């Protein structure tokens, strides 16, 4: 079992937890245990949460949160960060999450937070460890590795790809979509293959019909349809399109221009560009 590098006498450390964006997602099958098999391309973005780890001498992890997407986030043992720390025997830390990645937004907000504390705790990225953490959350293995990669299996098979400098504009509506619910509805719909790059999009639209209105509002302004990020609720399009989409802020959305970052930045091994 991994031993965290911090001791109770050390000072706090603040780490970046980078959002992940799924550029393309095909669902290739379902295992006997119900886990879905995927073939996806994922990238890390410069949009990130900040995680401050404060060593403590207590037996239980203390979670606090701030930031624009902290409302409604669970701060008990159900939080992926608390579960990740328990997985590696590192309970008892003080963790403050400054949330700039939405939960239920399809950008891996909870998964990247969990992956960041696992990395701080010294967890390796061997195939065995990636398989172990995939059972905790399918996006966690990619978030541990970061950068750009082809992701297969239930999320535990990570094949790094060369970094590509890419700018995207994210539209984050005031909605949230449950990933398990989206996969469940995908099954109920008979496993559809989407016309676009994301097989989960038809299921997410069925789970949260309001996403249809947001897709249409974005498409009307761009002249082309956006792509759903993972299970949603975030939509994205290539390029810097904030001017064209800025009026959607008045509808309750956040419009964020983000850039892909390489593995070294995504894993806190080099400064944010």
Q: Which residues carry out catalysis?
A: 20, 139
CA dist 244 and 112 (Å) reads 29
How far from 155 is each of 134, 163, 183, 199, 242, CA to CA, in Å? Answer: 6, 19, 14, 15, 31
User: Which residues share a beta bridge with 167?
Assistant: 259
Q: How many other CB atoms sit within 10 Å of the CB of residue 84?
A: 26
SS3 198: strand
**Tokens coding 70:** 């902290």
Q: Is the dihedral of CA 114, 230, 204, 66 positive or negative?
A: positive
Q: Residues 148, 177, 133, CA angle at the centre, nearest 5°?
A: 50
Q: Is the dihedral of CA 66, 71, 77, 81 positive or negative?
A: negative
CA dist 112 and 272 (Å) reads 16
User: Which residues share a beta bridge with 200?
Assistant: none
**142 secondary structure, DSSP code:** H
Report yes or no: 26 and 145 within 8 Å, Cβ to Cβ: no
Phi, psi (degrees; rounded to nearest 5) at 62 = -105, 120
Report yes or no: 126 and 72 within 8 Å, Cβ to Cβ: no
């Amino acid at each position: 079992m991994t031993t965290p590098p911090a001791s109770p006498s050390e000072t706090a450390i603040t780490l970046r937890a980078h959002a992940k964006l799924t550029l393309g997602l095909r669902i290739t099958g379902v295992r006997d245990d119900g886990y879905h098999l995927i073939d996806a391309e994922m990238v890390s973005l410069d949009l990130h949460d900040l995680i401050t780890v404060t060593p403590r001498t207590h037996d239980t992890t203390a979670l606090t949160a701030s930031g624009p997407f902290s409302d409604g986030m669970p701060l008990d043992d159900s939080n992926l960060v608390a579960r990740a720390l328990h997985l590696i025997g590192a309970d008892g830390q003080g963790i403050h999450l400054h949330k700039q990645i939405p939960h239920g937004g399809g950008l891996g907000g909870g998964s990247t937070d969990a992956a960041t504390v696992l990395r701080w705790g010294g967890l390796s990225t061997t195939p065995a460890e990636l398989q172990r953490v995939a059972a905790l959350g399918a996006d966690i293995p990619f978030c541990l590795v970061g950068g750009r990669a082809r992701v297969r299996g239930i999320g535990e098979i990570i094949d790094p790809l060369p970094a590509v400098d890419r700018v995207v504009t994210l539209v984050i509506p005031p909605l949230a979509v449950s990933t398990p619910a989206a996969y469940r509805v995908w099954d109920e719909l008979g496993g559809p293959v989407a016309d676009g790059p994301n097989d989960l999009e038809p299921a997410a639209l069925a789970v949260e019909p309001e996403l249809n209105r947001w897709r249409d509002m974005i498409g009307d302004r761009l002249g082309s349809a956006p792509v759903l990020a993972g299970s949603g609720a975030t939509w994205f399009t290539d390029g810097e399109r904030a001017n064209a989409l800025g009026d959607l802020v008045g509808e309750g959305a956040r419009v964020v221009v983000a850039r892909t970052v390489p593995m070294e930045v995504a894993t806190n091994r080099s400064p944010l560009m």
